[in-house]
Amino acid sequence: MRFISEHRSGDGVLAREFILGEIPGTLWTPDQAPDQAPGSAAPAPLILMAHNNGLPKAEPRLVARARRSAARGYAVASIDAAGCGDRPRSAAAERARADLRRAMRAGEPVDGIFESLVGPLVDHAVPEWRTTLDALLDLPGIGGPVGYSGWAALGIRLVVADPRVAAVGLFAGGYVPLAVREEARRVTVPLLLLFQWDDEGNPRQRNLDLFDAFGTREKTLHANMGGHTGTPWFEAEDAARFFDRHLRPDGNRPL
């Protein structure tokens, strides 16, 4: 892992861009006080944050969530997996995206198109996220436990594939590939599923069915009225409390 830039801000957060092989990423951490000896702070729990379906790690809503979590004492990382952000996209994925936009405008069924688009995205993204996790946990100042926050389809596959992920917060699980939906039954870690009741792109009943399918007994569902981008501000605080409970030994944020 090679850090290529860093930025300190007034909110006590250090943001560093990195490259890991071909994988570009960002790591947000609590900024070290000037009078603090290097390495003297306790290792920070880690949250992996992923946005949906190829959106970049620089997407403003993801960056805002990452900065809030880092200011709370977490290390937070996001990457542009294959086909995301500025990384090259396959011709097949671009055709599937175009077909999806056309079908949604026409009110036609989109399940088959979603399968052909999202399935390969998940297949390619999970190995890169696991490689990134290996490198992050080798850094000084990051000690786990590990949480995941974001894209439901990726989060389900990742937590099933990697036992280091101890808690997951998932968004908008209306469209998840069938193979990944079957894997949801193998999810046994604490889980928070958040979705919007009137989300135009994520059918309500599928979110409810997905929540029912998760194998964990420690699962919480938050649903709010409104469309896809109308998530209430207080959900960010509720998500923070969820990770505090499951990623901190005493269940509390640091003073």
The tens digit of pLDDT for each residue in 44-56 reads 999 999 986 656 7
Instruction: Report the alpha-carbon angle 223-98-169, nearest 5.
Output: 25
pLDDT at 53 (0 to 100): 62
Segment 86-111 mean pLDDT: 86
> Which sequence spans correspond to the domains of the chain?
2-34+41-88+122-247
Q: pLDDT tens-digit profile of 18-35?
A: 999 999 999 999 986 444
Instruction: Report the alpha-carbon angle 87-90-95, nearest 5.
Output: 125
Rounded to the nearest 10 degrees, what angle do helices 111-137 and 91-106 cross at? 130
Whole-structure pTM value: 0.91
**79/83 Cα distance (integer angstroms):** 11
**23/119 Cα distance (integer angstroms):** 20
> What is the per-residue DSSP string for 152-163?
HHHHHHHHHH-T
Query: Phi/psi of residue 117, each to 5°?
Result: -90, -55
What is the token pair recorded at 90?
Answer: 């396959």
3-state secondary structure of 11: coil
* Annotation: CATH topology of 2-34+41-88+122-247: Rossmann fold (3.40.50)
Q: Are 195 and 225 in contact (CB under 8 A)?
A: no
- Other C-beta atoms closer than 10 Å to the C-beta of 95 total 13
Instruction: Indicate the range of 74-78, 114-118, 162-166 predicted with least confidence.
Output: 114-118
Q: pLDDT tens-digit profile of 184-226?
A: 999 999 999 999 899 877 889 999 999 999 999 999 999 999 9
Buried b (16+ CB within 10 A) or exposed e, 188-204: ebbbbbbbbeebeebee
Q: pLDDT tens-digit profile of 134-191?
A: 999 999 999 889 999 999 999 999 999 999 999 999 988 778 889 999 999 999 999 9
